[in-house]
Amino acid sequence: MIQSIRALLRLVLFFIVSLATVLLVAIGNVLITLVSDKWAVRWKNIVIKSWAWITGIVVGLKLTVKGTPPKPPFFLVSNHLSYIDVIPLWRYLDATFVAKSEIQSWPFFGWATKTLGVLFINRELKRDVKRMNDKISDVISANQGVIIFPEGTSTKGAKVESFNAPLLQYPAVTRMPVDYATITYESTNPDKPAHLNICWWGDMEFFPHFWELLKLKSFKATITFGEQSVSSSNRKILADELKKEVNRNFSPVIFEED
C-alpha cells in the first residue's frame, strides 16, 4: 500500500512538472524566438535542466557523475538502458536527442518531446539517415549539442551492444570529434533488481514498467563522461572505437553467463 501511494504521488508530480516544462519551452519557442533563436535555445536548456533535476528528486534517483560533461557544440553517444537515461544526460548537458520515430505516437510524450526539440528518425528507412544528418546540422550549435543512442534500442544492461554505424554518418562526414558517456543503474531494493525495474527492454510495456519504477524508494545511477573524444571519417571505425570506449567505463547491471 505504501509503495502504491508513493508511486501515485510521484506520478502526479511527474506529470505536473513535465507539463509545466513543456509549456514553458513552448512559450519560449513562440515568444523568445521572435527576439533571438539563440536565447530561445538557452531558455529551453535552462528549463529542461531544471526538469531533469526536479524529476530526479521526484523519482528517487541518486546520481553519481564521473568525468567532465562536454560543452556545446558537441555530438555525444551513450549506451541505452531505459527511458530514465534522459534524466542524467539532460541534467548535465545542453543538448537535444535523436530518438526513434515510434515515440511520436505515445500519449503526451510524443507531443512533449517534439515540443522540447527532440529529433525523430525512422531507423527502418535507410534514406532517413540523410534527412537526419540535415536536421543535426541545423540544430547543433554553440548553444546546443546532439545526443544519440547508437545501440538502437534500450537493453537490460548485461553488455554494451554493437553501435549502428549509419547513426554516426554526420560526425564521420564532418570529421567532428564524438564525445561519449556510459550509464549504469543499481537498485537499492534486492527484491527489485535493476535489470527488471529500472532498465526497459524487450517487450516491456511502458506505463506498467514506469509505475513499478515509481514504487521504488530510490535507485542509483552512475554516468561517466569519457576523457577524450573520438574522431574518424569512417563511420564503421568510429562506431567500433566508440563502443570500446563506452564499454571500458561500463559496469553491467546484470551478469549473464556466455
pLDDT in tens, 31-51: 998 888 899 999 999 999 999
DSSP readout, 200-213? Answer: --TT--HHHHHHHH
Residues contacting 85, CB < 8 A, separation 6+: 78, 149, 154, 183
Give tens-digit pLDDT for 70-104. 999 999 999 999 999 999 999 999 999 998 888 88
Per-residue pLDDT, 131 = 85
Buried b / exposed e over 202-213, threshold 16 CB at 10 Å, is: eeeeeeebbebb
The stretch 221-239 carries a mean pLDDT of 96
Say whether 178 sits in a helix, a strand or coil: strand
- Residue 22 located in a structural domain: no
**Residue 65 pairs with which residues in a beta bridge?**
223
Residue 182: band (very low, low, confident or very high) from pLDDT cuts 50, 70, 90: very high
- Residue 120 located in a structural domain: yes
Q: For the chain, how many residues are written?
A: 258
- Check: CB of residue 120 under 8 Å from CB of residue 99: yes
Show the cell assigned to 44: 529551453
Which stretch of 172-176, 248-252, 253-257 has the lowest confidence by average pLDDT?
Answer: 253-257
- Residue 164 located in a structural domain: yes
* pLDDT above 60 (res 9): yes
Give tens-digit pLDDT for 126-149. 777 778 888 888 899 999 999 999
Number of domains in the chain: 1
Per-residue pLDDT, 34 = 87
- Residue 210 located in a structural domain: yes
- Check: CB of residue 24 under 8 Å from CB of residue 54: no
- Residue 23 located in a structural domain: no
Mean pLDDT over the full length of the chain: 93
Which stretch of 61-65, 80-84, 119-123, 238-242 has the lowest confidence by average pLDDT?
Answer: 119-123
Domain, as residue range, for 100: 62-248
- Residue 257 located in a structural domain: no
How far is the C-alpha of 249 from the C-alpha of 124, rounded, in Å? Answer: 30
Residue 163: band (very low, low, confident or very high) from pLDDT cuts 50, 70, 90: very high
* pLDDT above 70 (res 257): no
* pLDDT above 50 (res 258): no
- Residue 6 located in a structural domain: no
Higher pLDDT, 132 or 258: 132
- Residue 124 located in a structural domain: yes
How far is the C-alpha of 60 from the C-alpha of 11, rounded, in Å? Answer: 12
The reported pTM is: 0.93
